[in-house]
Amino acid sequence: MSKMIGILTSGGDSPGLNAAIRGVGKALLGRYCMKVVGFRDGFRGMMENRTQLLDSAALSGILTLGGTILGTSRDKPYAMPIAGKLMDMTDVIVDNYRKHHLNALVCLGGGGTQKNAYHLMKQGLNVITLPKTIDNDVPMTDVSFGYDTALGIATEAVDRLHSTAHSHHRILVLELMGNKAGWLALGAGIAGGADVILIPEIPYDVKKVASAIMRRSHSGQGFSIVAVAEGAISCEVAAKLAVVGKNKDSKKKEQKQQTQVRVADCKPGNSLHLAQQLEELTGLESRLTILGYLQRGGTPSAGDRLLATRLGTACADLINDGKFGVMVAARGDGVKPVALKDVVGKRKTVPLNHDWIESARSVHTCFGD
Ligand code: F6P
Write the pLDDT tens digit of every residue in 97-135.
999 999 999 999 999 999 999 999 999 999 999 999 999
The atom of ligand 1 lying closest to the CA of 177 is 6
Q: How far is residue 142's CA from residue 331's CA, in Å, rounded to a whole number? A: 6
Instruction: Give the closest residue (by CA) to ligand 1 atom 12.
Output: 12
Q: How far is residue 365's CA from residue 344's CA, in Å, rounded to a whole number? A: 33
Average pLDDT in the 144-149 region? 98
293 alpha carbon to ligand 1 midpoint, in Å?
8
- Active-site residue, selected from the candidate residues 13, 41, 75, 135: 135
Averaged confidence pLDDT in the chain: 95
The atom of ligand 1 lying closest to the CA of 134 is 2
Average pLDDT in the 5-23 region? 98
Query: Using a CB cutoff of 8 Å and minimum separation of 24, what contacts does 328-334 make?
Result: 328/128, 328/129, 328/130, 328/131, 329/131, 329/140, 329/141, 329/142, 330/131, 330/141, 330/142, 330/143, 330/144, 331/141, 331/142, 332/142
Grade residue 284 by pLDDT with cuts at 50, 70 and 90.
very high
186: pLDDT strictly greater than 80: yes
Which secondary structure element, helix H or strand E, spans residue 107, and what is its range? Answer: strand 102-109
190: pLDDT strictly greater than 80: yes
Least confident of 53-57, 224-228, 262-266, 271-275: 262-266
Average pLDDT in the 316-340 region? 98
Pocket test for ligand 1, best of 17, 41, 135 (most atoms within 8 A of CB): 135
Average pLDDT in the 163-174 region? 96
Grade residue 248 by pLDDT with cuts at 50, 70 and 90.
low
Q: In this structure, what DSSP letter does residue 195 have?
A: S
143: pLDDT strictly greater than 80: yes
User: Does ligand 1 have an atom closer than 6 angstroms to the CB of 133?
Assistant: yes
245: pLDDT strictly greater than 80: no
Q: How far from each other are the two terminal CA atoms of the chain, in whole angstroms?
A: 62
219 alpha carbon to ligand 1 midpoint, in Å?
38
pLDDT of residue 241: 83
pLDDT of residue 266: 52
